[in-house]
A and B are shown apart, each in its own frame.
Chain A
């Protein structure tokens, strides 16, 4: 425990014993709105966590970029300078707006490839996200599934027949469509969104998945994940995600698909500050008109 000696130095005030340290940690966790210390399976590199070549996968890297783009304005408020994330993750204006609006942004690692007993054997196009740690009392602003298209992969995966077809079309670009479905009961597919991909397109694309996320947060038992289906635009023939160049779970860590969601905390402002429930004084003790709107007094 340190204190300021008044000349810009901190001085050890008291060495806390084990129990006091535990209590102090518990208090700070409580302040951060956490019931316990998280125990992630993924371990962070011990040094220089925020450097570019840090070996982290795309999901944490996206939020690290967002974090690094936050700057403090004169007012003391944190604001986003979107250059960095725009460059790397192809972030749209609406994303930047969502980021500014959000109290909480979460990026979810795809667990689709680890699911058992699921009939959709195209695990490559199968996505499932663990939403159990989404804080309660939050409202979804927006959510998107982010996928990376790698042109080199398209060329490598294109078989000879397709190459011949391409030659026949003489410069006609072979566009693709990717469609995202929500997986329902008994593997039924519910249409969510689709987009056209130009054959020369490379980089991150985002599919809006706000609707299923909102649904899963209300009914977690209905979270069977998402299914991606890719088709040739011209013929409608279904092709594999690899042929489109989409990077899957076995690809480069930094280019793996992930979901990002933007939440607004719906707790009253006083609770938001403390991250906990404040006691409400009995109504008979409150005789101020300001408190008549049922807000918790500060």
Chain B
């Protein structure tokens, strides 16, 4: 039902109370606030240009490194790419929050980049770095 929740406007009080009933007391707007903090991919651009490395890095100028940030809290909706294990981890965490941690927000899909640069001898190296760029994040 998460897609339906997102479409609702915050001022629609009537609808809100209906949803509260529908969700058995669960407040979907609290969930919407939570979703802003939920596990998601964030962008972090590593700029070789800003580092002043243009004298030895030929290409690229930089790369979108990205990282994963946010919480993996109950309920784990589909947008979090939660693994089955993450759901179990969440349930056990809820039962014993001080001993068992929440699932971890981490990359689930990574891709490579290629960097072209000069070495000390002015030879040129094209090196493929696997798993350097986060394509998507999820709860593990």
List residues of A whose CB falls within 8 A of some B CB.
Answer: 2-4, 6, 8, 10, 25, 28, 32-33, 37-44, 46, 49-50, 59-60, 62-64, 66-67, 70, 72, 75-78, 102-109, 129-130, 132-133, 269, 272-273, 275
Q: By the criterion CB–CB under 8 Å, are B46 and A28 in contact?
A: yes
Return B99 CB to nearest CB of chain A, in Å.
20
Return A12 CB to nearest CB of chain B, in Å.
11
Set of chain A residues within 8 Å of B55, measured between Cβ atoms: 40, 43-44
Set of chain A residues within 8 Å of B121, measured between Cβ atoms: 40-41, 109, 130, 132-133
Return B53 CB to nearest CB of chain A, in Å.
7
Set of chain A residues within 8 Å of B46, measured between Cβ atoms: 28
**B126 is contacted by which of A44, A49, A67, A129 (Cβ under 8 Å)?**
A67
Q: By the criterion CB–CB under 8 Å, are A275 and B129 in contact?
A: yes
Where chain B touches its partner, the secondary structure class is strand
Q: By the criterion CB–CB under 8 Å, are A109 and B115 in contact?
A: no
Set of chain B residues within 8 Å of A60, measured between Cβ atoms: 58, 118, 124
Known: A4-B42, A67-B59. A39 touches B128 (CB 8 A): no
Q: By the criterion CB–CB under 8 Å, are B126 and A63 in contact?
A: yes
The CA of A220 and the CA of B59, in the complex, are separated in Å by 30
The CA of A242 and the CA of B57, in the complex, are separated in Å by 34
The CA of A132 and the CA of B119, in the complex, are separated in Å by 10
Q: By the criterion CB–CB under 8 Å, are A78 and B56 in contact?
A: no
Q: By the criterion CB–CB under 8 Å, are A39 and B56 in contact?
A: yes
The reply to whether the CB of B92 lies closer than 8 angstroms to some CB of chain A is no
Set of chain A residues within 8 Å of B117, measured between Cβ atoms: 38
Q: By the criterion CB–CB under 8 Å, are A272 and B130 in contact?
A: yes
The reply to whether the CB of B131 lies closer than 8 angstroms to some CB of chain A is yes
Set of chain A residues within 8 Å of B111, measured between Cβ atoms: 72, 75-78
**B112 is contacted by which of A2, A8, A78 (Cβ under 8 Å)?**
A78
Set of chain B residues within 8 Å of A32, measured between Cβ atoms: 115, 127, 129
The reply to whether the CB of B88 lies closer than 8 angstroms to some CB of chain A is no
Set of chain A residues within 8 Å of B53, measured between Cβ atoms: 37
Q: By the criterion CB–CB under 8 Å, are A64 and B58 in contact?
A: yes
Known: A25-B51, A76-B112. A273 touches B131 (CB 8 A): yes
Q: By the criterion CB–CB under 8 Å, are B124 and A63 in contact?
A: yes
Set of chain B residues within 8 Å of A33, measured between Cβ atoms: 127
In the complex, the chain B residue whose C-beta lies closest to that of A46 is B54
The reply to whether the CB of B74 lies closer than 8 angstroms to some CB of chain A is no
Q: By the criterion CB–CB under 8 Å, are A76 and B122 in contact?
A: no
Set of chain A residues within 8 Å of B114, measured between Cβ atoms: 67, 70, 78
Jot down 12 A-B pairs with beta carbons below 8 A, ordered by A.
A10-B43, A38-B120, A41-B121, A42-B118, A59-B124, A60-B124, A63-B125, A72-B111, A102-B128, A109-B123, A129-B123, A133-B123
Set of chain B residues within 8 Å of A43, measured between Cβ atoms: 55
The reply to whether the CB of B44 lies closer than 8 angstroms to some CB of chain A is yes
Known: A50-B59, A76-B111. A28 touches B116 (CB 8 A): no
Set of chain A residues within 8 Å of B115, measured between Cβ atoms: 32
The reply to whether the CB of B110 lies closer than 8 angstroms to some CB of chain A is yes
Set of chain A residues within 8 Å of B130, measured between Cβ atoms: 103, 269, 272-273
